[in-house]
Amino acid sequence: MMRVPFPRLAAWLVGLLLAVAPVMPALAGTTVFAAASLKTALDAISRDYQARTGRSVTLSYAASSALARQIEAGAPADLFLSADLDWMDYLAGKDLIDPASRRTLLANRLVLIGPAGRAGTVVLEKGLDLRPLLGADGRLAVGDVAAVPAGKYAKAALQGLGAWDGVADRLAQAENVRVALALVARGEAPLGIVYATDAKAEPAVRVLGSFPPGSHPDILYPVALTRTAGAEARDFLLYLTGPQAQAIFTANGFTPVER
């Protein structure tokens, strides 16, 4: 039997691999840019999806404002999930999303939290004054009120209840809602305003009160494909609206609204 010298055999194998490479299917996966408040639920959904389909999903979490700016700057996202309508509208105005793919996926609630060991509740109604509850030098943890959706909702709610002027100079503004949550969980802030789903995900905090819906705009999460989305992204978007994903969202405290 003729023996092929190892260098020639290696070269032949490399040539064979190069020859078949162009016809092998590319599995690029899906890159998802999602609001930080979705992390717990979306991590579970992506694991479930990958186990069922074998397709990869890469998740990037931050404030919706930061993610929208990154997409605007050319970041390679296939799917964008925002915690408010404004930042999705912003990308739509730049023609950076596929408008036919856009839908409103979820709703959430806004709550006041304190460390888990803090007793009592706070009635969130007109005439609310949180300043005494912050103590001499404590601060209210919120998302950046100028850009981060959770911070914008918090400011609107405080204004709606007449409490804004009392705490405007006592804020600890965070880069996203999960950072605001962590400030309270670690005891670095005596109070915070986050989504109900964030409070549910963090055992080191407890809900002291829920803001009435009429005190702030509805908390809605739109989702859309970007203009540069890969082929697999549409399948993952469809999965997000299906019963398995919706059940996980519900278990994490979100209200599916799909419209």
Given a cut of 80, is residue 183 above it in pLDDT?
yes
Full domain range(s) for residue 240: 30-107+220-256
In a domain, 16, yes or no: no
Q: 161 and 231: one domain?
A: no
Q: 93 and 155: one domain?
A: no
Q: 121 and 177: one domain?
A: yes
Q: 116 and 194: one domain?
A: yes
Q: 74 and 157: one domain?
A: no
In a domain, 91, yes or no: yes
Residues with Cβ within 8 Å of residue 87, at least 6 apart in sequence: 64, 65, 67, 68, 149
Averaged pLDDT, 66-82: 97
47-73: pLDDT as tens digits: 999 999 999 999 999 999 999 999 999
In a domain, 142, yes or no: yes
Q: 206 and 227: one domain?
A: no
In a domain, 138, yes or no: yes
Percentage of the chain surpassing pLDDT 90? 87
Percentage of the chain surpassing pLDDT 70? 88
Given a cut of 80, is residue 22 above it in pLDDT?
no
Q: 171 and 225: one domain?
A: no
Q: What is the pLDDT of residue 18?
A: 34
40 vs 21: CA distance, rounded Å: 38
Q: 87 and 102: one domain?
A: yes
Model confidence at 27, pLDDT cuts 50, 70, 90, reads very low
Averaged pLDDT, 37-41: 97
Q: What is the pLDDT of residue 40?
A: 97
Q: 114 and 201: one domain?
A: yes
Q: What is the pLDDT of residue 161?
A: 97
Q: 96 and 115: one domain?
A: no
> What's the Cα-to-Cα distance from 18 to each of 5, 13, 27, 174, rounded to whole Å?
20, 9, 17, 50
Averaged pLDDT, 234-249: 96
Pure H helices in the chain: 6-20, 39-53, 64-72, 85-93, 131-134, 149-160, 164-167, 177-185, 196-201, 231-240, 243-251
Averaged pLDDT, 117-130: 95
36 vs 182: CA distance, rounded Å: 12
In a domain, 100, yes or no: yes
Q: What is the pLDDT of residue 95?
A: 98
CATH number at residue 132: 3.40.190.10
In a domain, 11, yes or no: no
Q: What is the pLDDT of residue 28?
A: 65
Q: What is the pLDDT of residue 258?
A: 66
Given a cut of 70, is residue 25 above it in pLDDT?
no
Report the domain count for the chain: 2
Greatest CA span in the chain, whole angstroms? 94
Averaged pLDDT, 193-217: 97
Q: 199 and 116: one domain?
A: yes
Match 């009120």 to its residue by tokens: 145
